[in-house]
Amino acid sequence: MGNAGLENKPTVTKTKKTLYLMIQGTGSHVGKTVITAALCRIFANKGLRVAPFKAQNMALNSFVTADGCEVGRSTALQAKAARAELSVEMNPILLKPKAEKEAQLILNGRPYADVSAFDQFHNNKALRTLKWEAIQLSLAALSQDYELIIIEGAGSPAEVNLRTFDLVNMEVAQHCGAPVLLVTDIDRGGSLAALVGTLALLSESEQAHIKGFIFNKFRGDQRLFDPAIEFLQNKTGRPTLGVIPYRPNLSLMEEDALRQQTVFNGDPEIDIAIIEHRYLSNFTDFDPLIIEPGLMIRFVRTPAQLGHPDAIILPGSKNTVKDLQQLHASGLARHIQTLAKNGIPILGICGGYQMMGKMLIDPSHIESDQGDLEGLGLLDVVTEFQGGKNTRQVQCKTIAQSPLFPEENEEITGYEIHCGMTRLISAHHRPIFKTQDTLIPHETGCVDLSGLILGTSLHGLFENDVFRRRFLNLLRKRKSLSSIASPLLKFKQFEDQQIEDWAAFVSAYLDLSSIETFMAQSR
């Protein structure tokens, strides 16, 4: 549902006021996202109708609502945790970096404009007004449907150079009358100074919203930390409401940071290399692979790092042209082409699929000033960039048989977030899927004659459990390894269980009684 349709929204009779709770942090990546997700599940389990809310995300990971609106992927995770239907009101503003000082502004789920960092944070009063209106309308809509709104802040509320333009933290807290819990990552060090310093840099009216502190990623014996908690109480007059231990096996997405390390699951027998574009987007596409045994996943940037893997994945990109140029400049393009000729399976997703074609055509300079650019030539397709953006959830069926799709009419689901139209230019390669759209069904994706080089616009491909297992078993068969013997895991069930386990873990270390008291006092 978009803000544009709020005037047609049916009236909901409410029996009591909406409650609010806000999670802010002493900085980025202190754990706001996953703590918010835990609280969404904790209170959903208590029988409340809960919605997450983040006024503005800055991320290259995004997701699509049922009505085709684009929101941050972390907000989608929190909606799952809340057992709530994802809507654009939960994240009305999304910024997707596409250059060093430029980002695409997604407003109410739709592309609005490309904005510079200066315009975003300096003297564009009209843009600030537009964004604040979207935030207010979204909160008003959510308050009609939900009993509790758990709000996630962004970065730190104490960035003095950006305070005038910060609509995401204290501006929202004051608008809602929300109690704020301030989170810090103790594993980084300096957490006491960060908490005290953050509080000191807020105005008195803003300080009044801070009700308590949460330490995240604690290691060691908490008894040794008790004097610090007592000091903090005496210094600030505010309680510590949670000391959450470090949990190394947490597999939920933390914030929007790229997992740049190599990931192992058991003794690695299969090596998958993922090309780490500078503007890599939706790397969450590969989360489902992590649950499969005997697998190593590597993010690579150079030919030396790439080596000779068992498969290569070209992921999505927010700036396909610049990332393709970097592939050519680094020598990765030539190395990938050589490996493809030697029979190494290659999968391209979204922007990665576009790069695998013969040519990127951009006559109107929508994507960049480059114009036309030669692709990798692995698939007989060309992509032409046009105005507009395709954002939708997709159901389709397979139409091309290959080792990865041995049967026709196999159901595959996913979602699309891309600019440009990709089309086949020869009969040598074939489309993979036919969408099941009720209005305009069409063929999409491409696979070569070997069946081992393929591309698709579909994000979420590996969430299709049968396809994911077949993909890995094909790689194992090529190395004369036996198929995976463990039962097929259903990723969506696995993810939900991870949320449930994380919520139970966090709940054990929070003073929920005090938190509920503060929530009840919210305006």
* Nearest by Cα to 1 from 71, 55, 49, 57: 71
What is the Cα–Cα distance from 150 to 144, expressed in whole angstroms?
14
* Domain 263-490 annotated CATH 3.40.50.880: yes
Residues with Cβ within 8 Å of residue 231, at least 6 apart in sequence: 192
Q: Average pLDDT over the chain, rounded to whole?
A: 90
User: In this model, does residue 435 exceed pLDDT 80?
Assistant: yes
Judge contact between 348 and 455, C-beta under 8 A.
Answer: yes
Location of each CATH 3.40.50.880 domain in the chain: 263-490
Handedness of CA 510, 514, 517, 519 (dihedral sign): negative
Distance CA 120, CA 116 (A): 6
DSSP 158: T
pLDDT tens readout for residues 467-480: 999 999 999 999 99
- Note the pLDDT of residue 38: 98
Pairing of strands 316-317, 446-447: unpaired
**Is residue 11 over pLDDT 80?**
no
Distance of CA 451 to the CA centre of its chain: 30
Q: Do residues 392 and 415 touch, judged by C-beta distance below 8 A?
A: yes
pLDDT value at 8 more than 50: no
Residue 115: name the closest of 98, 90, 132 by CA.
98
Residue with token string 């029996």: 15
CA–CA separation, 424 and 414 (whole Å): 21
196 and 36 Cβ atoms separated by less than 8 Å: no
DSSP 311: E
**CA 160 to CA 90: how far, in whole Å?**
27
5 band by pLDDT with thresholds 50, 70 and 90: very low
Classified as helix, coil or strand, 182 is strand
Relative to beta strand 148-152, strand 19-25 is: parallel
Identify the band that residue 7 occupies on the pLDDT scale cut at 50, 70 and 90.
very low
- Residue spans in the chain of domains classed CATH 3.40.50.300: 20-251
Average pLDDT for residues 33-56, to the nearest whole number?
97
- pLDDT value at 123 more than 70: no
Query: Phi and psi (nearest 5°) for 501?
Result: -65, -40
Q: What is the pLDDT of residues 149-164, one digit of tens each?
A: 999 999 999 998 888 7
**DSSP reduced 3-state for 403:** coil
In this structure, which topology does domain 20-251 adopt according to CATH? Rossmann fold (3.40.50)
What DSSP character marks residue 161?
T
Contact status, residue 317 vs residue 356, Cβ threshold 8 Å: no
Question: CB under 8 Å, gap of 24 or more: what pairs does 43-50 form?
Answer: 43/82, 43/148, 43/150, 44/81, 44/82, 44/83, 44/84, 45/503, 48/19, 48/147, 48/148, 49/84, 49/145, 49/146, 49/147, 49/148, 50/82, 50/83, 50/84, 50/146, 50/147, 50/148, 50/149, 50/150
Average pLDDT over residues 165-177: 94
130 — pLDDT class (breaks 50, 70, 90): very high
Residue 501: alpha-carbon gap to chain centroid: 20
How far apart CA 69 and CA 135 sit, in angstroms, is 15
Residue 206 has pLDDT above 60, yes or no: yes
Give me the DSSP letters along 19-76. EEEEEEESSTTSSHHHHHHHHHHHHHHTT--EEEE-SEEE-S-EEE-TTS-EEEHHHH
pLDDT recorded at residue 265: 73
**pLDDT at residue 458 above 80?**
yes
Q: Which residues are catalytic?
A: 350, 459
Average pLDDT in the 260-267 region? Answer: 70
For the chain, how many residues are written?
523
CA angle, 123 then 126 then 132, to 5°: 105
- Let me know if 41 is exposed, middle or buried by CB neighbors in 10 A (0-12, 13-18, 19+): buried
Q: Are 182 and 199 in contact (CB under 8 A)?
A: yes
Confidence of residue 261 (pLDDT cuts 50, 70, 90): low
- 100: which DSSP letter? T
Task: Label residue 258 by pLDDT band (50, 70, 90).
Answer: very low
Query: Which percentage of the chain shows pLDDT scores above 90?
Result: 74
Q: In the structure encoding, which two tokens stand for residue 131, read together?
A: 């964004």
The residue written with tokens 């890599």 in the block is 280
> Which alpha helices (DSSP H) does 296-331 contain, by range?
303-306, 320-330
Other CB atoms within 10 A of residue 78 CB: 29
**Which positions ≥6 away from 225 have C-beta within 8 Å?**
215, 218, 243
